[in-house]
Amino acid sequence: MAYREGNRYQMTLLPPVIDEYVGPEDPVRAYDAMVDAMDIRELGLVTDSNQVGNPAYEPRAMLKLLVYGYSYGWRSSRKLERACHHDLSFIWIMGGLKPDHKTISNFRKNNKAPVARILKQCARICIKLDMIEGNCLFADSTKVRGSASISQTKTTEKWEQKLGEVDKRIEELLAECDEIDESETGSLVKAEKELKDKQRLQRKIKGLVEQMEREGLEKINGTDTECVNFKGRQGSHAGYSAHIAADEKHGLIVSTGVVNESSDSHQFSNQIEQAMETLGKPCRTAVADAGYANVENIQQTTEKNIDVIVPSQRQALHTPADDPFGKDKFRYDSENDQYICPEGNRLRYSHYSNVKGHYLYRIEKASLCQTCPHFGVCTTSRRGRTMIRLRNEELREKLEARCASEAGQAIYKKRKEKVELPFGHIKRNLNSGAFLVRGLSGVNAEFAILASCFNIARMITLTGGVSNLINRLAVPRTP
């Protein structure tokens, strides 16, 4: 049987122009066209060819490199540098430019705010192409590891203990340097180098302790001071919570937001508001899972006449509806501000909890519960049955009824396919299970690029190919 064998000495000729390095349906052309369709000045990138100094790389070209690199799952500046030398599609999108890794890293570091706005422009392009309607939005979040170890998250006590160890070592090094200087034996350079490192660490820890006192923090991570600890399916890590709002029509991402809160309960209205800012109009329906079930926060959205479908924690836990002593079996008497139990006994108002934010109602007499035939089933407390009522209890009941309705369930079932798909693409296909950069501004910029990569990939599919997308973008090509 014959074999096909390669020959490294076979003479070949590349196309005469770089534009012919890739075919007309190569995805790189779509990413190139999308960035060309964006308003660089609206992003906030400075473009001035008359600046004094050494020639700089054109900002649009650097932005293309980042976006296309992230679509490959290549986020490291060194990998991007290498790709500009060896990968034809990267050579094509850069027009033959070959920035080094330091230049790429500095561009990303110095332009966090402009890069974070890239998704907004991407979404608005989708709106113009009628790919985003903005009528129904789905919100969800995922936990993403930060570029920091959870072992570096310490309390004030632990940091002060660490500071004491560093102070002790600095004293030892100072004594060692004096001894070396007098005896003229040993390595003074090595000792001085370690001394400088320890003094730098000393200043860092003092700064962390001062920051904790200033901001009232219980813990802080010494590597990334803005990340938080969270528990996920793969254990406990230091990182961030990344939120997205996706459109119902094609599941395209409208907006993103990365926060340093492990809970989603205060994020619903914020994320929907950001999405509506991108849309330029209010949505009709907003949907999320039970993690966002905070009635006070959701109220900010319902006040704008937006239909909200968010199950309560009780609904998420699938509490049996036929529970004979469930809260729904206790009738609330609004005139007398009391609850009536199934046996006809009254639960009167006791007090309001400022910590938990709810009203507490207790049975009139504990003996009524103790002598009740249902004692032990309805309640086992010697003080008798209690009932909790939220400040916005009526709204909570309306939200539960809306979510439980047939129409509400029909919309809620779409949530997984619309809003969870992007997370799978970003974490698996784009190899982004952890952030590469640090700080809220940095991770927000990085996640905006990842979300834009998802949108562009979807747009290629929805339009039927790269050339179709480019034609619909109608971006004038440079000859």
DSSP string for 400-451: HHHHHSHHHHHHHTTHIIIIIHHHHIIIIIT--SB-SS-SHHHHHHHHHHHH
On the CB side of 448, how many CA atoms lie within 13 Å of its CA?
24
The encoded tokens of residue 156 equal: 């004030």
- What does the pLDDT read at residue 177? 83
Q: What are phi and psi of 32, to 5 degrees?
A: -65, -45
What is the number of residues in the chain? 479
Q: Per-10-residue mean pLDDT for the chain, 479 residues long?
A: 73 82 93 93 82 82 96 94 95 94 94 94 95 95 93 92 91 84 72 88 92 91 92 85 96 96 92 95 94 91 94 75 78 87 89 84 89 90 88 86 92 92 93 93 96 97 94 67
- What does the pLDDT read at residue 25? 93
Q: What is the dihedral of CA 433, 136, 474, 455, to 10 degrees?
A: 10
Closest CA to 93 of 46, 31, 175, 157: 31
pTM, two decimal places: 0.87
Convert the pLDDT of each residue in 363-401 to its tens digit.
888 888 988 988 988 999 988 999 888 888 888 889 989
Mean pLDDT of the chain: 89
Are 267 and 243 spatial neighbours (Cβ–Cβ below 8 Å)? Answer: yes
468 φ/ψ sector (left φ>0, alpha ψ -120 to 50, else beta): alpha
Distance of CA 415 to the CA centre of its chain: 18
Helix, strand, coil share (%) of the chain residues, nearest 5: 50, 15, 35
Q: Is 237 exposed, middle or buried (0-12, 13-18, 19+ CB in 10 A)?
A: buried
Q: What is the dihedral of CA 49, 52, 54, 55, to 10 degrees?
A: 0
- Please state, as a whole number, how many other Cβ atoms lie within 10 Å of the Cβ of residue 385: 24
Residue 74 to residue 82: CA distance in whole angstroms = 11
3-class DSSP state for residue 376?
coil
